[in-house]
Each structure stands twice: as C-alpha cells, then as structure tokens.
Structure 1
Amino acid sequence: MAMNASVVTTPTLVIVGRPNVGKSALFNRVMQRRIAIVHEQSGVTRDRVTAVGDWCGKYFRLVDTGGLNVFRGGHKADGVFDEMIREQLEEAVVDADFIIFVVDVIAGLVPLDREVARWLRQLGKPVVVAANKADNDKIAVGAGEFAETGFTDIYPISCLHGLGVAELLDHATADFAMNEAERDEAPAINIALVGRPNVGKSSTVNRLLGENRVIVSEVPGTTRDAVDIPFEIELHGTRVKANLIDTAGIKKRTKTSSPVEFFGLARARTAIRRADIVLVLIDATEPGTAQDKRICRLVLDEGKPCVLLANKWDLAGKEVKQKELFERIAWEIPFLDYAPILTCCAVSGYNFSEILPSVIAIHEQMSIDIPTPLVNRVVQDLVARVSPPAGGSTRLKIYYGTYKSQRPPTFILFVNDVKSCRGNYVAFLKNQFRRAFGLDGLPIFIEFRERRRGDFHNAPDKKRGKSIASK
C-alpha cells in the first residue's frame, strides 16, 4: 500500500516572543478555547501548538511557539531545551505568512525583547507587535516604547480581558483571503499518539512526518502540551486529511510533580477522547509496565480503536523474538487484545511504512454498517457451533441481535437471562464478531437485554420468542 504523509499548508500566523509574555494566552484567546497550557511558570510551551482558526471568514493556521532562551538563569535545568526550542521556532517562522511578536507592556522593553526583534527583522517577514497586559488605557500608553524594536505596527492588547485583540487580528489577517470553504478543513482522522514518558513519542511523530516537528530529548516529559499537527496521507493518489496529536507522557499520579505536568496529563486524556484512532507507544525493551496498562485502560474505557507500537525494536530484537514479545504483551495487557501490534524503531524508521496503512484500514472499518439479518445469521451460526453456557439452573438463550452503533462497534443481544451471560462466552462472541465482520483494531461492546418470549409476539416467525441458541 503506497502511502506518504505531508504536512498541510494553509495561511499561517505564528506567535513569537520571550518567555512569559502571554503567547499561549493570546493563542487561547484567538481560538476561544483553552488549547495551549497557560501557567505563570515561564517556558511552559516547548513544542509548536497548532490549530485552525478564523477571523471574519478568513481561515488560517495559528501557531504558538516556545519562548526564546527559556529558563535563562531559572530554577530548573531546562536550559537543555533552549537550542531545541530555537530550532522549533526557526522552522515555524519559515512557513509563517505573518508573525505576531508578543511583548509585556508592564515589564517594558527588556534586552531579550530587543534580541528577538533583531532576529525577526532579519527574516523579512511581516510583523505586528502585540503589547500584552494592557488591561487599561493608562497602561496601554506604555506600548509606544516598543517602537524602538523597529516595528511600526504596535497594538496594546489584554489577553485576560480580550481588549484590542480584534484590532490586532484585523491587521494580521488583512491580506488573508476570504474563504468560507476552509470551514470544512477539519481533519478527517484524528490520531492520538500516547504513551508513558520517554518511550519515543516525539521521535515517532518526526519520523512519521519526515521533519523535526516536535522536540526530541532523552529527558522524560519533554512534551507538555498536546501538540496538534495537521497533515495529509496520500493513498492511491488520493489525499486523506488527518490530525496527529502528540501528547504529554502519562505518569503515575504520584509522580506528577507540577501543575504544568498535571494539565499536560489532562490534555493527554482529552486527546484520547478526541481521537478517532489511538496509537499506543510502548517500549519493546520493557513492555507491559503498570503505566502501559493504565494508558491502555484509558483507551479501552473511551472505546477507541487502537494500534500498539512496540518501539525500540532495534534494542529488544537482540534479546527476544517477535513472537515472544507479542505473547508477553498479550499476557500483560489482555484487555487490549483487539489491537494489532507493530514492532518499530523511530531511530531507523523500521516498519514505519506499515503504521499509516494500519490506521487507514482501521478507519475504513469504523464506517461499516452491519445489517440486522446478517448479525442474526452470524449469531445463529455461533451458537450452533458453541452452545451458550448454563448460569446456575438456567441456560443462556439468545433470541435476537442487532448492530447498535459504529463508534465504538456495539451490538445488542436480547436474551432470556442476563445473569447467564458468562465472561468467557462474551469474550468468545466478541472475537467471533470481530472475525466475521472484519473489525480488527476496534473494541467491541455487547449490550445484553433481558426479554421474555412474549416480547416478540409481533415479530416475524424468525424473530418470535424462539431462541437462536440451542438447548
């Protein structure tokens, strides 16, 4: 299956500035919802956070970037990320159609603002200065000081109260085309990438997209925001729109050391909820940890289709065979038995050509509609081959079945006694439904509803109280 991934290109508005001036607050204000994490701790945003926004019918891609020289002289040793954040920022502004340079009007013009301004002038891109924290007219007067940056377009704004943001957007989007069709640009497939810290999520994103899109580091917890990355999958000459969500690593609750990490985990859970399909990344050298199980349980609880990616196979493959690895994962995480497993290596790119085809195949299965007569023919065949067990003195009888919903695939079976539905037989039914209807990678749910024979007295003979199950 020939398939390539390419990043979607649309008019791009990039927000830049030194740490803690309100870049993420402006991002959230423009999007009218909280996407980027906002916290008084500077340097919270490390990766590029992207979303599609609109202003008066003009649609654009809004990008929130990390602050330059984060934690210079700070309390934590995050200086290791400074160069990486600068690289991320440089890559972001290359694609920018317009740049919003955010400054703090209360702090005034500081040396780092001058440094950022000098760098922006060298780019030759259109720039507007957003003097944030101008919560009243008296403070807003101080915005004139930023004329020393060399930029003439300066707008005092207050992200907290929304003051001046409309005028700022009028200016920044003045040359953007009116395009109502962009309203339909929402990605067709939302793909969340989740996993415990430092299993290679950001490396996997960069390998999938073929570019250094998110920060990669040996330090666990590098990604704090849930980073949305719109892209397109080319399949047989057709482009399928998608959105890849790289999430913060999900840690044990007792190891969430800061409010920023806490909100990052909340974003990860929200990303799973938003996703159409979830890629769960595990470390092939240490599969099935308590954290892996907790993450997989979140995926199952949300009823999400899933692919398990066993990363770092270049290391694990020296110690175990692939069959042994699969058996261990199945033993450690038995409740996610519906998910296909792929061994891969984000460093070398091994087996990455199989990931997106697996996602597309599962996505296509999610739209399957199963007619009721077919459901009942399959059920009739199943109970003929394997009789339902007896629960105490009562043997389970299945009268009738129907397909309730696609996401997640849910079947309703009308039975004589719900209490007779034993767990092992339910698991058997799920596995057989998956095989019969081609629902690989999708969780299957079965609702059992108790009925008496008389409840079907108006149904045709085949549906009347006669049980499908043999005695």
Structure 2
Amino acid sequence: MSKPIVAVVGRPNVGKSTLVNRLAVKRDAIVHESRGVTRDRSYHDCDWNGREFVLIDTGGIESAKSKDVFAPRIREQALAAADEADVIIFVVDGTVGVTDEDEEVARVIRRTKKPVFLVVNKIDDPSAELESWAYYSLGVGEPRPLSAGHGHGTGDLLDDVVAAFPDEEDEVVEVDDGSLNVAIIGRPNVGKSSLTNRLAKRERSIVSDVSGTTRDAVDTLIEWKGNRIRLVDTAGMRKKTQVHEDVEYYSLVRGLGAMDRADVCLLVVDASVGVTEQDQKIAGMAIDRGCAIVIVLNKWDLIDSAEERDRVEASLAQRMTFATWAPSVNVSALTGRAVDKVLAAAVEASRTHASHIKTSQLNNLITQIREGGHTVTDKGRRLKIHYVTQTGERPPAFTFWCNAPDLVDDNYERFLENRLRETFDLVGTPIRLKFRRKDD
C-alpha cells in the first residue's frame, strides 16, 4: 500500500530534526540520511495508532537574502516536499516569535492546497500562554504550542495529522500477483533504462545520455520462459553529497523503496568505468534490505582489449569483496549482447533467495566442522555449536544454538558463511546468521 507522506518544513534551527526524531519510529531497513553540503535531509517510516506513513525532514529554508549559494536549491526542495506530501508540518521557534524567514516559508506553504499544521516549537511549559495572534499572521492556520524536546503536544499533533490523511480505501494497494520483483539499480547514466527497454523488448522508459533522466520508479511486467517478472527501473542513485536537486532526493527515496519491495536487484555497473565506490555503497544498501543481487556489467561492447577486461575484473574483485557470492554478467544493453543471461541469473538468484535447507543437512555440516576442530576459544572458554536450523527465507536465515554466542567473532562468522556457501547452493543471495544460547 502506498503510504501517506508528511513533510516537515521550516527555517533552520527551529527544531525540525528534533521533532522528526520524536515522531519517527526508526527501523534499520527503512531509515536513510542524505547529506547536502551543510544540511541533513532524512526520511523515516512512522506508525501512529496502526496508520503507517513516511515522515520527511527537509533542509532549513534560508532567507532569499541569504549569502548561502545553496539557498535557492533548498527553497526548491521545500516546494518539492510540499508537492510530494499529503500533509505538511510547518515548524517555527516559539522562543523568538515570527521572523522574516518564517514569513517566507509561509508564502511557500500557502501555494499548496495541502493540510498544514503550524507547530510553535520549544514551548517547554505546557501551561505557558501562547501569544497566538502573532502566528496567525502567517496565514497557514491555527498555531499549536509544542515541545519536540520534551514531547508535549506531539500525541495530539499525530492524532490530527493521521486524521488528515486520505482514506485508506483511496490509497493504492499493491497486490501480490506472484510476480518476481526485480529492481534495476545503479548510479546515474550506467544504462539502467536501456537495459529495462532491452529486457522488455519495447521502449518503456525514457532513455537519454544525460545522467538523471529517470526521476521516478517505473514498473514493467514481462513474461520470460514461464516466469512473470516485474521490472522496476529506478532513478540513478548519486553520492549523498551530490543529491542537491529536490527531485533527485525524492528519486533516492523511491529507489530505496523499490529495493524494499524487490526480490532481486540488478546492480548495473558501467564496465567502461569499472566498479566504483558508489556502486559498492548501492550494493550494500540492497544487501542491508535482504535483496538477492546480480551484478550487470553493462557497456561491455566498449571493452576491446584484454587489459581493459583485467581492469574491470580487478575493480570487481576489489570493490565487491563483501558480496563475492553475487554473480556477474557481461552485457551490452545497446546491442542486446547476453541480456537473456541477466534474466536467467535473476531467476536463479530468486530461487536461492527463497530456498530452504533441511535441518538434517545443516547439522551434517556442523558435525563435519566440529570434527575438524575449527572453533573459537578465549581465556579457557571454548565455543561449542550444538545444532543449527534455518529460521528464515528471502533471504535465508540460519540460527546456531551454542554454549557461548558472545565468543563468535567476525572471522568465525565469515568461516561459517563460507562453509555454508561451499556446501549449499546459495549463489546470488545474502544470508543471515544468528547465534543463540542453547537454553534460550
């Protein structure tokens, strides 16, 4: 289901981020921060009384007279937030009264037809009388005193914000039709849209050699060898310091959302450049979200020498040491070279992503490891793994019951993961390892 969006706007230093932190329910898979030059912008998934929504903290809006060269872009960001949002929370500082900058923000907000909640922050004493008349002059509705630092008034604010959302039956419901969800991710201008069009065998996405052409996530349904596949072509994901444009910021939000609902991510890499640090970071985001991964080395038609091939392979080995299990396919979206292999690899990665290994097979492996004597010791204590079982899928998760989980270090965890991958078919999928005391 498409979640309602709440944008928190205001000038700098009025407590927007404090309010966001107070309202947000933080979860590891869905919190992401995107840093501007001197400002942080973030989005958070929230829940209030069973109603889920996305809360977006925007950068502080500077005065038009500001000497900050990024002030115009931050103003554009506020406009984008207002356009994107179902509800707007406008925050002002109750300790200083209405400022010229507040009035500028109010002029931006009044252009929208969205519900607006005017929050007068930093009113730490709930019994203090608020001089409301000054804030009514902003022309955006009734001011409400609140303390983001202490939490006074936040519950009432959330009650009213949720009540202003569109009816749930009016929201878009995403139906699980059994399709394999494949998100096409990567840096801008690496050929994601061209690959989507080649896989779909029709011009479904806008293709351009200007980076950042795709601004939204586009779904394309295809059939391939009896498999129903939903391709999601996402906007290019830039380094955080390069996400200045308002539309690119929201493209990043949607790109991460596409990962959240994907079974497999096709990480498209420009082979003529090699695997970059940003490719590495995008892969890490997908793995954190539990997605299977296939690395697509696109523009392979531009690689015309053994030296170039060696360079690309070296960059792959160097940058992707944390995902050596991810298969790679050399393709050319322009010519169509090897694109069928991409879908074959995606379907195979989806299979291992959803695979389940019998407990008896897992414990046979543990017996072999135990007999080999490979374990961890510390100050006379010795790790003993009693048994293991698979406790999750998509991605596969394995729980090891042992005598002392605290003895398991990163090296031993990598050793166990390597042995699992050597023994079982887990190509293309991340796995999760958990360790619990036997008597838990």
Q: State whether TM-score is above 0.5.
A: yes
Task: Give the drift of 1:314.
Answer: 1.7
CA contact (8 A) 1:326 1:341 kept: no
CA contact (8 A) 1:391 1:419 kept: no
Task: Give matches, 1:131-280, under 5 Å.
Answer: 186-233=177-224, 235=225, 239-280=226-267
Task: Give the drift of 1:317.
Answer: 4.3
- Structure 1 stretches lacking a partner, 5+ long: 1-30, 36-132, 136-159, 167-182, 457-471
Task: Give the drift of 1:357.
Answer: 0.9
Q: Does 1:377 align with 2:364?
A: yes
| 1:423 counterpart residue number | 410
Q: 1:392 to 1:303 in 2, by over 3 A?
A: farther
| 1:348 counterpart residue number | 335
CA contact (8 A) 2:277 2:319 kept: no
For 1:184 and 1:291, how far apart are their aligned partners in 2?
A: 33
| 2:159 counterpart residue number | none
CA deviation profile, 1:319-350 (whole Å, cap 9, x unmatched): 53646533431211211222111111111122
CA contact (8 A) 1:367 1:406 kept: yes
Q: Secondary structure at the match of 1:428?
A: helix
Q: 1:448 to 1:222 in 2, by over 3 A?
A: same
CA contact (8 A) 2:182 2:265 kept: yes
Task: Give the drift of 1:245.
Answer: 0.2
For 2:298 and 2:205, how far apart are their aligned partners in 1?
A: 17
Number of aligned positions between the proteins: 284
**Root mean square deviation of aligned Cα:** 3.2
Q: Secondary structure at the match of 2:389?
A: strand
Task: Give the drift of 1:438.
Answer: 0.8
Q: 1:315 to 1:380 in 2, by over 3 A?
A: same
Q: 1:423 to 1:161 in 2, by over 3 A?
A: closer
Q: 1:327 to 1:419 in 2, by over 3 A?
A: farther
For 1:327 and 1:273, how far apart are their aligned partners in 2?
A: 30
* Residue type of the alignment partner of 1:347: L
Q: 1:32 to 1:356 in 2, by over 3 A?
A: closer
TM-score under structure 1 length normalisation: 0.55
| 1:396 counterpart residue number | 383
Task: Give the drift of 1:373.
Answer: 1.7
| 1:95 counterpart residue number | none
CA deviation profile, 1:290-343 (whole Å, cap 9, x unmatched): 211210110111111100111111223435364653343121121122211111
* Residue type of the alignment partner of 2:254: R
CA deviation profile, 1:363-400 (whole Å, cap 9, x unmatched): 22233222222211111113333611324533321111
Q: 2:431 aligns with which of 438, 441, 444?
A: 444
CA deviation profile, 1:158-193 (whole Å, cap 9, x unmatched): xx999xxx9xxxxxxxxxxxxxxxx97725210000
CA contact (8 A) 1:187 1:230 kept: no
CA contact (8 A) 1:272 1:278 kept: yes
For 2:318 and 2:2, how far apart are their aligned partners in 1?
A: 45
Higher mean C-alpha deviation, range 290-299 or range 422-431: 422-431
For 2:283 and 2:423, how far apart are their aligned partners in 1?
A: 25
For 2:350 and 2:393, how far apart are their aligned partners in 1?
A: 11
Q: Secondary structure at the match of 2:202?
A: coil
For 2:341 and 2:184, how far apart are their aligned partners in 1?
A: 16
CA contact (8 A) 1:309 1:344 kept: yes
For 2:113 and 2:381, how far apart are their aligned partners in 1?
A: 74
Task: Give the drift of 1:218.
Answer: 1.0
Q: Does 1:362 align with 2:343?
A: no
Q: 1:32 to 1:398 in 2, by over 3 A?
A: closer
For 2:2 and 2:417, how far apart are their aligned partners in 1?
A: 42
CA contact (8 A) 1:398 1:413 kept: yes
| 2:396 counterpart residue number | 409
* Residue type of the alignment partner of 2:214: T
For 2:273 and 2:206, how far apart are their aligned partners in 1?
A: 23
